């Protein structure tokens, strides 16, 4: 079995979000070892959106109108996305 060497953790206070996401994607790919990786773009977008929506809704105490404003989305668009992720 191959030994997996993960990159060191990142200090989130010093890096832009894109660098943190890039680091996490690298860790994911490394841990997949010989497993087939497909549709990585779709996977990353869905995982990031799901986490984003959950966190923003939590911080907005479930207020979808405020969450939509924070996210820069129309309230209807947010509701559609929440339904897709079964967060409604």
Q: Please report, for residues 22, 44, 70, 77, the alpha-carbon distance to residue 26 in angstroms, rounded to integers and kept in the order given.
A: 6, 12, 29, 31
Domain coverage including residue 30: 17-84
CATH number assigned to the domain comprising residue 59: 1.10.10.60
Query: 10 lies in a domain?
Result: no
Query: Which pTM does this prediction carry?
Result: 0.75
Is the pLDDT at 1 greater than 50? The verdict is no
Q: How many domains does the chain have?
A: 1
Listing DSSP states for the chain in one string gives: -PPP-PPPPP-TTTS-HHHHHHHHHHHHHHHTTTS----HHHHHHHHHHHHHHHHHHHHTTT-HHHHHHHHT--HHHHHHHHHHTT--
Q: What is the pLDDT of residues 12-71, one digit of tens each?
A: 567 888 998 999 999 999 998 878 889 999 999 999 999 999 999 999 999 999 999 999
Query: 12 lies in a domain?
Result: no
* Better-scored residue on pLDDT, 11 or 51: 51
pLDDT band at residue 78 under the 50/70/90 scheme: very high
């Amino acid at each position: 079995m191959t030994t997996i060497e993960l990159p060191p953790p990142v200090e989130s206070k010093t890096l832009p979000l894109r660098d943190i996401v890039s680091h996490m994607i690298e860790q994911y790919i490394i841990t997949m070892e010989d497993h087939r990786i497909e549709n990585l773009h779709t996977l990353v977008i869905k995982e990031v959106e799901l986490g984003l929506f959950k966190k923003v809704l939590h911080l907005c105490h479930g207020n979808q109108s405020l969450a939509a404003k924070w996210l820069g989305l129309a309230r209807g668009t947010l509701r559609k996305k929440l339904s897709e992720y079964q967060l409604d």
